[in-house]
């Protein structure tokens, strides 16, 4: 029966297409660990970069404060020459000393910031090198992955076109029914009946159905698993023995 032959061809095409789809889904997993490592290294680098930029900002701000207070001290010293009373003079000296002490504290804070800044700068350089190394490996692997994905996409497109062409040679209702069985029965929609049993579910079929299958004049399904059945000629008969 011609329809049975078409369905067998269709099942083979759909099975190949499903296999290619399965293999395609595996491809991203090939770089999953490397991708996770790259993202972890990148996140660490970005965190270190944020810390470094904040320290740079803190350093500039502290240097600005120190410079402003130094200018204030110099202006106060210059003003001393014009002060006429001892009270004002000593008050100005007290203000100058207070400013110097405050600036000394700021300088200590600046030194602490500079120490952290240098450490952060060194750490940032190390993390950047790691990101560049892992990122290079990841990008290199992604070139292979994209090539594989493109190859799989090409195969899938060819198989889809072939499936459409073959399915177009049978009734549309039968094609839809076949595809539904294929999906529900894990990619096995048509199977031979052998020794009065369905080779799909391995359940016995009635002698009457087995006889009908041998006539090959219509489509029959297994009463148990609903797969489409066809009669498989025993080897001894096909060889003429």
Which CATH topology does 2-167 take? Helix Hairpins (1.10.287)
Give residue 90's pLDDT band: very low, low, confident or very high (50, 70, 90). Answer: confident
| pLDDT digits 0-9 by tens, 62-71 | 999 888 888 8
Mean pLDDT of the chain: 91
**CA–CA separation, 75 and 50 (whole Å):** 38
**CA–CA separation, 230 and 51 (whole Å):** 72
Query: Which of 53-57, 87-91, 121-125, 155-159 has the lowest average pLDDT?
Result: 87-91
Name the residue ranges covered by the structural domains of the chain: 2-167, 172-238
**CA–CA separation, 116 and 111 (whole Å):** 9
Q: Would the pLDDT of 215 be above 60?
A: yes
Q: Which residue has the higher pLDDT, 232 or 3?
A: 3
What is the average per-residue pLDDT within 147-174? 96
* Residues 201 and 224: beta-carbon distance below 8 Å: yes
What are the residue ranges of helices labelled H in the chain? 2-26, 32-80, 86-167, 172-184, 207-215, 235-238
Query: Which of 27-31, 62-66, 88-92 has the lowest average pLDDT?
Result: 88-92
The number of C-alpha atoms within 13 Å of 186 and in the hemisphere containing its C-beta is: 3
What is the average per-residue pLDDT within 105-111? 91
Burial letters 17-55, b for 16+ CB under 10 A, else e: beebeeebeebeeebeebbebbeebbeebeebeebbeeb
> What percent of the chain has pLDDT above 90?
74
Q: Report CA-CA distances (Å) from 44 to 18, 36, 47, 150.
A: 40, 12, 5, 33
**CA–CA separation, 96 and 102 (whole Å):** 10
């Amino acid at each position: 029966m011609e329809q049975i032959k078409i369905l067998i061809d269709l099942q083979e095409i759909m099975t190949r297409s499903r296999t290619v789809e399965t293999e395609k889904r595996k491809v991203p997993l090939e770089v999953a660990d490397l991708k996770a490592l790259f993202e972890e290294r990148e996140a660490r680098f970005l965190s270190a970069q944020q810390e470094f930029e904040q320290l740079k900002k803190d350093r500039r701000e502290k240097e600005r404060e120190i410079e402003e207070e130094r200018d204030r001290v110099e202006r106060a010293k210059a003003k001393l020459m014009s002060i006429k009373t001892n009270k004002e003079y000593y008050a100005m000296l007290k203000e100058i000393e207070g400013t110097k002490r405050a600036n000394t504290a700021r300088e200590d804070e600046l030194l602490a910031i500079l120490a952290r800044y240098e450490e952060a700068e060194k750490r940032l350089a190390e993390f950047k090198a790691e990101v560049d190394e892992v990122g290079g490996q990841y990008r290199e692997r992604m070139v292979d992955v994209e090539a594989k994905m493109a190859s799989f996409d090409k195969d899938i497109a060819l198989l889809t076109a072939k499936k459409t062409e073959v399915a177009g040679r049978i009734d549309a209702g039968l094609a839809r029914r076949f595809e539904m069985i294929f999906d529900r029965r894990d990619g096995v929609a048509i199977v031979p009946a052998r020794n009065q049993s369905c080779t799909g579910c391995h359940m016995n079929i009635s002698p009457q159905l087995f006889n009908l299958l041998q006539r090959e004049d219509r489509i029959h399904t297994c009463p148990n698993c609903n797969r489409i059945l066809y009669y498989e000629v025993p080897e001894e008969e096909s060889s003429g023995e």
